[in-house]
Chains A and B, each alone.
Chain A
Amino acid sequence: MTAPARMRVTGLGVIAPGVDRPDRALGPRSAPQPGWFEVAAALPGRGYRRLPAGCLHLLAAARAAVIDSGPRFAEVPAHRRAAIVGTNNAGAALIEEFDRTIIDLGAAELPPGRVPYMATSMFAARLAPEHLLRGFDLTTNSPAVAGLDALQSAARALAAGRASVVLAGAVEEPPSATQRSGARFAAAPVDIGAAVLVCEPEEVPAGGAAGYGCCSTYSAFVPGAGAGADPDRARAVLAGLWSRLADDGPPRRIDAVLDDSALGAAVAAWLPACAPDSEITAVPAAIGGGCLTPVRRVAGRLATPGGLTDRVAVVAASAHGHLSITDLTPAAAGPGHRTPPVDDRTTPATTKGHRS
């Protein structure tokens, strides 16, 4: 089994309640305050008014990431540009609204401009005309890990020569209040917003930017009706994955984005044993299979003020059995090495859609 493909990250954009810059993405998920996202400021121009909120957040995060990456993106021919975005809940509330309309009024009353968004993949597809991505446009949708899957698929596609630059990340919308009914779901944190990484092949071309760092994503699956209910099986799968990742030493830090499922509990219990010298940060996963939080951790770590200096692993697991680990390594020092500014907390609370 060969090692997973690696890629270089040359631009970052994160849009979420309380987060308008990637170096603030490590903060806790905040409840959205009225006016937290200003469309006109984040996305100047026409054609955005009728788009679903998640689509707007994704477009704003991508715009910020592309601006952040500098002139390189615009130099890549359109047929070599692509996007891969993970999502699970984007469009959830819309699908419910559409079904209610059909039941109560009939399909003829559906809003034609929004109907295409019954397909969750349409959220990522809106990136293509925005940034003239003619290489391809792909959506991943596994619960909880779809965002890290998008990073893995981006690295694989770059290595296979399917594109020269990929906008990779995640977008999530909260399901509706009705869809979140139930004691456990109603009060739980949900993922809102988007995070996008501008990704290029690992090798730095002459005159190219070293970027923020490199990443590769390892993945495995724990089978069983209650994935992780058999701790020995979960441990065996995780041990196999970890041995590949830690072949040349363990990461200095681990962000473990886990829920309270059997698999989440098994991973949380096993990580300290397999990486006793690593600094582990437990990050509660969003409920409902949201896949944004792990990508926020990736973006936030890469945007560490002063630059990423140590190897970091971001771990995510789903109640369904998915297990993914994105391995971040510092960029080689030299021209184009990104050293994000120290967070001075001077930007306003509402996002402007790009790094200040």
Chain B
Amino acid sequence: MTPGSDEHRAVMTGLGAVSCLGAGLGGYWNALLAGGAAPREVDLPHLNMRARRMYRVPEAAVPEHPRRHAGVPLGAVPRMAVAAALEALDDAGIEHRDRADVPVVLGCEMGNASVQEERRGADGAGHPQWTPLAVAAAAVGSAIGSRRGNISVGNACSAGGYALGIASDLIRSGEASVVLVGAADGVTRVGMGGFDRLGAADPHSCRPFARDRAGTVFGDGAAMVVLESAAHARLRGVRAYAELAGVAWSCDARHPTAPDPDATQLVRAMREALADADLAPDRVGCVLPHATGTPLNDAVESRALRRVFGQVTDRLPLFALKAMIGHTSAAAGIFACLTSALILSRARIPANAPVEQDPDCEVWLPREAALRPARPAVLVNTCAFGGNNSSFVLAGRGWPA
């Protein structure tokens, strides 16, 4: 990727989240340190499937507003996205008068589909009229008063990584000084049923790298990040959580749902993200893997990590976030991004959830206690249906080069 000049380096100055751990960042971080959440039964009607649990946002944490945008009723997904966006902008100290000049880039796949499903009613007999699913970006743009471009991307479970790449390119090219980038996804009967049908859903919990893992378990939520040029942040006199130092994309171009067992393109994405960040693999102090808990994904990703990091993999701590908040689908990459920013800025890697690790997954999952990252960068992977991969690297601010 074309590197940005020093002035156009993209730094993260604001974060916001609504997740199964509640609304707001403070609670999010403390809950991760405490071991995260547990999945619970989803209370949708007609959930005629084997796996019926999710890592659900507490009802009290789902905002009531905005209820409509452009005549379309807004479900929980766009409402959570708006709440997380406002938190991120407040966190970054972006004044209301300056928000008109902030473009929005948002990842969203099933998005507002929950509204259609709700309108089929308790008896399932309703016939709702179709409305676009990807309305969260517009709801966010409207709520913050943005007058700049409003981009919605839908790359399934890698949408967040792709949104970050677009946002990074906007900053690096000088098209924008500040970008609000995020993602949101929610609870849908079709999403849960589809994964159930494909045998990719675990009826119990999300257990990445566990010997008895049986698939993923979804989580709902929204995560937002304020990305800003280093020069702009310096002018405003604000501190940055971390730098988004490198982003790379790749595609297996092979199978609709299964990862390439050789992981050639995932390895390439990781290497190119590190090269984009101008960092050698030995500068990485933590990895947030995609790690969904599906048997094949975790084994393939483990091998891919060993190809990139070699023997160092034995001493490279991984943090499997989905064991604590579930697989937030389109939002997974942004949740991983803001968690990595917190890891770097607070110099702590939360302990992983306790699992009996699969010997076929030769990675290090520290489970005893939180660790201090020994090196200044965090690598994140996101993968999706269609073989889409995105890897990105966050670099700590103020670490010795």
Contacts and interface: CB of A to CB of B under 8 A. Distances in A.
Contact of A121 (B155, B197, B255, B268): B155
A136 B251 contact: yes
Nearest to A185: B129
B386 A102 contact: no
Contacts, number: 275
A129 B253 CA distance: 4
Given A128-B386, A320-B69, A139 B153 contact: yes
Chain A contact patch, size range = 35 or more
A35 B394 CA distance: 52
B48 A103 contact: yes
B141 A223 contact: yes
Nearest to A84: B153
A153 interface: yes
B151 A149 contact: yes
B129 A180 contact: yes
Contacts of A78: 253
B97 interface: no
B70 A122 contact: no
A237 interface: yes
B124 A103 contact: yes
Contacts of B230: none
Contact of A140 (B72, B127, B151): B151
A203 interface: no
A320 B135 contact: yes
B94 to A, nearest CB: 15
Nearest to B157: A119
Contact of B385 (A1, A125, A143, A146): A125
Contacts of A136: 162, 249-251, 388
Interface stretch (B104-112, B206-214, B233-241): B104-112
Contacts of A152: 149
Contact of B48 (A106, A182, A320): A106
A181 B129 CA distance: 6
Interface string B86-123: 00000000000000100010001110010011001000
Interface stretch (A7-15, A68-76, A91-99): A91-99
A88 interface: yes
Contacts of B150: 142, 219, 221, 321-322
Contacts of A196: none
Given A102-B190, A103-B120, A181 B152 contact: no
Interface in B289-325: none
Contacts of A107: 48-50, 192-194, 196-197
Interface stretch (A38-46, A154-162, A268-276, A293-301): A154-162
Interface stretch (B171-179, B220-228, B350-358, B369-377): B171-179
B1 A161 contact: yes
B173 A2 contact: yes
B138 interface: yes
Contact of B155 (A89, A139, A222): A139
Most interface-central of B1, B69, B197, B255 (chain A CB within 10 A): B197
Interface string B354-390: 0000000000000000000000000000001111100
Contacts of A160: 1-2, 169, 172-173
B316 to A, nearest CB: 26
Given A115-B198, A140-B153, A175-B130, A134 B165 contact: no
B26 interface: no
Interface in B140-190: 141-156, 159, 162, 165-166, 169-170, 172-176, 189-190
B35 interface: no
B203 interface: no
A231 interface: no
A269 B127 CA distance: 36
Nearest to B175: A2
Interface of A: 1-2, 4-5, 78-79, 82, 88-89, 92, 95-96, 98-99, 102-108, 110, 112, 115-116, 118-122, 124-126, 128-129, 132-143, 146, 149, 152-153, 156-157, 159-162, 175-176, 178-182, 185, 219-227, 237, 240, 261, 288-289, 318-322
The 8 A-B residue pairs with the shortest CB-CB distance, nearest first, are: A125-B386, A107-B193, A179-B130, A136-B249, A219-B149, A107-B49, A106-B48, A320-B138
21 contacts: A88-B133, A99-B116, A99-B193, A102-B190, A107-B50, A108-B50, A116-B386, A118-B190, A119-B156, A119-B386, A121-B109, A121-B156, A125-B387, A128-B387, A140-B153, A159-B173, A219-B148, A220-B149, A221-B141, A318-B138, A320-B135
